[in-house]
């Protein structure tokens, strides 16, 4: 019996959903509300650079970005198939969506390294 990649794609989707649900609201609150209003001071570029200095932190940021991108790719793929009735183009849509997520993950890794 041949294994299908769909189970792994659903795993990436759910992992990305958890990461997005836990991290993105905090980032929006900090950088979108509290810092512009003046409740918190903006961090300096040197402080942010020092925060991203350890390899483990960079790897965690790349993993979080990759999971969020695969979550979005999975949503876009299934929305295009179900809502827009493009199920006959599933192989093309899957390659474009997951290829873009993989490319974005590689770009994120390149930027951080």
pLDDT value at position 3? 66
Is the alpha carbon torsion for 29, 34, 35, 36 positive or negative?
positive
pLDDT at 2 over 60: no
Each residue of 9-23: pLDDT tens digit?
888 999 999 999 999
pLDDT recorded at residue 82: 87
Domain boundaries defined on the chain: 6-112
Range 6-112 has CATH code 1.10.287.1080:
no
Our CA angle for 54, 58, 59, nearest 5°, is 115
Distance from C-alpha of 3 to C-alpha of 8, rounded to nearest angstrom: 10
- 52 backbone φψ class: left, alpha, beta (φ>0; ψ -120 to 50): alpha
Which residue from 4, 3, 6 is spatially nearest to 70, judged by alpha carbons? 6
The model's confidence at residue 28, banded by pLDDT at 50, 70 and 90, is very high
């Amino acid at each position: 019996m041949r294994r299908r990649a769909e189970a792994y794609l659903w795993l990436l989707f759910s992992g990305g959903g958890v990461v997005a649900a836990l991290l993105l609201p905090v980032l929006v609150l900090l950088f979108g509300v509290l810092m512009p209003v003046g409740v918190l001071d903006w961090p300096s570029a040197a402080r942010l650079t020092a925060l991203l200095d350890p390899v483990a932190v960079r790897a965690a940021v790349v993993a979080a970005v990759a999971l969020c991108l695969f979550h979005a790719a999975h949503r876009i793929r299934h929305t295009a198939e179900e809502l827009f009735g493009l199920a006959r183009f599933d192989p093309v849509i899957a390659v474009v969506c997951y290829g873009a997520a993989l490319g974005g993950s590689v770009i994120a890794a390149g930027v951080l390294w």
